[in-house]
Structure 1
Amino acid sequence: MSGIRNKSNIALIGMPACGKSTIGVIVAEALNRPFIDTDSIIQEINGKPLWRLLEDEGREQFLMLESDAVCSLSCANSVIATGGSVVYSEKAMEFLKSIADIVFMEISYPAVAKRLAHLDIQKRGVVMHNEKKLLELYEERDRLYRKYADYTVAADERTVEELAARLIDVIRKSTAEE
């Protein structure tokens, strides 16, 4: 991963449980930047947890709510953690690309499966396609994450602290180059 271009926001994308929110909070605090979690925004606006929104509204409506929440962002110098399904909205991703450098928190399928094994995926609010299995979801999203990413950070073999330090280092180096 080379230096971040001259954009004021950093947006983290990736599979559920890859560390977007956890890393985002650490990086934002270390750099004294605001932290924005788009999943939290969706829940606040709609007054329901993600899983309930998915259950009540359905997949397509949920994706529209997610896209609207992302496209309503008005921020600068922020670290943004997105929902894993944001990549299904070309509109939302193009908006993010216009305000942020997009960092794909890459994680292998076995690591995702392990991290999600003890969780009820539906109760976590993971957007699935009907009877699609986790592997199919992973493969589909992986292509989309790579399509939109400006940078990719391998998250499998690193601790939370190592990932945060790596991202902070890249951001600081690019800021010094401006």
Structure 2
Amino acid sequence: MNIVLVGMSGAGKSTLGVLLAKALGMDYVDTDIMIQQQEGRLLQEIIDRGGIDKFMEVEENIVSDLKLKNCIISTGGSVIYSERAMNILKNGGQIIYLHVPYEEINKRLTNITTRGIVIKKGNSLKDVYEERLPLYKKYSDIMIDCSNKDIEHCVREIIERIQESHGENTMDCQNFAGSDA
């Protein structure tokens, strides 16, 4: 079973994902990095050149084509817009929503125009946050409040919650993603 981390940009998915993978002896996959590798450019460049819809199509296809077992998967914040991708991720693992209040996200994200965040014209970061919040809650199996907690505390809490819900720890991540990834 996979452990899939979802949440806003700046919530700590990538940082926590790497530490969780080390703590649980699992492999780690970051879908944003996979997208950049497959497309041969940065997330922001994909958005700037192809537009938000093209970026979300690429993201949906790459995430939906993943064939991973027993991996920690950090997703991009916008994957939550794809029902297809989220259902595939949910079928293959446990979805953990890393909740961070808007005020803290706003402080953490100092580079929203270059970070590759899907923000439609005319919308603010707060608009995006409020739009995504119900989707993160809808798809998540576990919600972890990461506000005002250090990284190690969040990692321990995630592990405890996973163990409570499953009572087991599986290892040996096997990546069956396409050779393009």
TM-score, with structure 1 as normaliser: 0.91
Counterparts in 2 of 1:15-54, with a 5 A limit?
15-54=8-47
SS at match of 1:122: coil
CA deviation after TM superposition for structure 1 residue 170, in Å: 2.5
Give the counterpart letter for 1:38 in structure 2. Answer: T
Matched residue, 1:125:
116
Q: 5+ residue gaps in structure 2? A: 171-181
Match of 1:162 in 2: 153
2:48 pairs with 1:55: yes
Measure, in 1, the Cα distance between the counterparts of 2:50 and 2:91: 29
Question: CA–CA distance in 2 between the matches of 1:103 and 1:177?
Answer: 16
For residue 114 of structure 2, give the secondary structure of its aligned residue in structure 1.
helix
Residue deviations 1:53-86 (CA, integer Å, cap 9, x gap) = 0001100010010001101111111000000000
Identical residues among aligned pairs (%):
37
1:1-31 per-position Cα deviation (integer Å, ceiling 9, x unaligned) = xxxxxxx101000000000010000000111
> 2:79 matched to which residue of 1?
86
In structure 2, the residue corresponding to 1:123 is in which secondary structure?
coil
| Offset of residue 35 of structure 1 | 0.3
Match of 1:175 in 2: 167
CA distance in 2 between partners of 1:171 and 1:86 (Å): 22
| Count of residues in Structure 1 that have an aligned counterpart in Structure 2 | 169
3-state SS of the aligned residue for 2:59?
A: helix
Give the aligned partner of residue 4 of structure 1: none
What TM-score does the superposition give when structure 2 sets the normalisation length? 0.90
Larger CA deviation: 164-173 vs 131-140: 164-173
C-alpha displacement of 1:177: 9.6
Residue from 126, 129, 136 that aligns with 1:135: 126
One-letter amino acid of the counterpart of residue 85, structure 1: S
Match runs of 1:95-106 below 5 Å: 95-106=88-99
Structure 1's unaligned 5+ residue stretches are: 1-7
Letter in 2 for 1:138: Y
Taking the aligned partners of 1:41 and 1:177, their CA distance within structure 2 comes to 26
CA distance, structure 1, for counterparts of residue 42 and residue 153 of structure 2: 30
Match among 2, 12, 15 for residue 9 of structure 1: 2
